Amino acid sequence: HENAAVFSTVMVILGLYIIAAVWTRRTDKQDLIKWTASPLMDNLPIDTYHYLITVHTGVGKEAGSTSNISFVMSGESSDSGVRKLSDGKIQVSVYN
């Protein structure tokens, strides 16, 4: 009887581990899609400088935004004008 109890405990722990591993892998794949950098839809082929822009919306789990985010990059002699933070293909959802 003791062997059956130990075996059952080990099998339950192993089963929970496998379920957790599958769930973790799926969420990692979703995070990879969210964290992929992509060029803006209004980039020109002659653009020579590349910038990585990070947007933080808050610290809470539900602090995301589905807003249309725009920005202006300013330099010493000029600015970029209003640029939309979108690649034109993927629905942008910003999460912290």
Q: What is residue 18's predicted lDDT score, i.e. its pLDDT?
A: 98
pLDDT in tens, the chain (96 residues): 679 999 999 999 999 999 999 999 998 888 777 777 777 888 888 888 888 887 777 777 777 777 778 889 898 998 888 888 876 665 555 544
Quick one: pLDDT at residue 23?
A: 95
The string over 24-57, giving b where at least 16 C-beta atoms fall within 10 Å of a residue's C-beta and e elsewhere, is eeeeeeeeeeeeeeeebeeeeeeeeeeeeeeeee
Residue count of the chain: 96
